[in-house]
Amino acid sequence: MKILLKAKNFILDILFPIQCLGCGVELENLEPKKRWVCPECLKKIKTRKDQDCPVCEQFSEEGRTHYKCKKETALDGLWVATEYKYEVVNEAIHKFKFNFVKDISFSLSEILIKSILETEEYGDFQDLVLVNFSQESGEKKVYTEEEKNKKAETIIVPVPLHKKRYNWRGFNQAFLLSEYIANKFNLEICDNLLFRKRNTKPQTKIKSMGERKENIKGAFFISECLDVKNLIKNKNIVIVDDVCTTSTTLGECAKELKKAGAKNVWGLVVARR
């Protein structure tokens, strides 16, 4: 199987050589997933230093939802890794979503991880994501039973795709990013918890905020096949997606998760348009 995979990659490299989206260099010595944005260009991508409220998009400590905006969303906060205006980021997300380049999930997840670990001061969001992660060793934290009982678990949940869109794309880009985040920070990922019941229009194609809300309203539901009460009650949830515009999609997901008993629900995205 490995021989066939190497042969396939060799042929693809000849016919469609991968060039770094930043500098245009072909790095044949690296595995494909590390070539789309080379290590040097990845280092140059600046992460956000300040975060904004997911609703009013005004500055907010760590991206927490302002008190006055809480009536507009079920999100407790939103963490945005970098800026969509950066050409490399913009192109990477576009190729990821519309050219179906799964390997770009590696570079985008590296940006997410970098933004989480590079922040000067850790706050509520880092407390959720790093609950099982020791930054000193990069390994899983070890807790006593007493400490475990005091710590609320954190679960990673990717924004779900409708079956039609999944079949068209062949993968859920949010799930691929979630896998990297969960593996890096020793968190549980649950992609069979939240489902999309309507194949909604892409939010980017709708300009009116009112129409966006109506488009996504009631689009998600919690699985009835799981013991949801024990699975997420009083747990912290981090909803992962590649990009958001108005955060209405994340807000709808958060609403359903809160109804099911989630304690805190935050959004995590690579960039915001």
pLDDT over threshold 50, residue 79: yes
Taking only the tens place, the pLDDT of each residue in 198-218 is 887 777 667 677 777 778 888
Q: Could you read off the pLDDT of 177-189 as tens digits, one per residue?
A: 999 999 999 999 9
Band of pLDDT at residue 146, cut at 50, 70 and 90: low
81-95, 100-114, 141-155, 226-240: segment of lowest average pLDDT? 141-155
pLDDT of res. 121: 82
| pLDDT value at 50 more than 60 | yes
162 and 200 Cβ atoms separated by less than 8 Å: yes
pTM: 0.90
> Is 272 a residue whose pLDDT tops 60?
yes
CATH fold label, 46-272: Rossmann fold (3.40.50)
Strands (E), 12-150: 77-83
Q: Please provide the average confidence, as pLDDT, over all residues in the chain.
A: 89
State the number of CA atoms in the 13 A half-sphere of 160 facing the CB.
Answer: 25
Query: What is the distance between the terminal CA atoms of the chain, rounded to a whole angstrom?
Result: 41
Model confidence over 2-49: pLDDT tens digits? Answer: 454 444 444 445 445 899 999 999 988 899 999 999 999 999 999 999
Domain boundaries, the chain: 1-44, 46-272
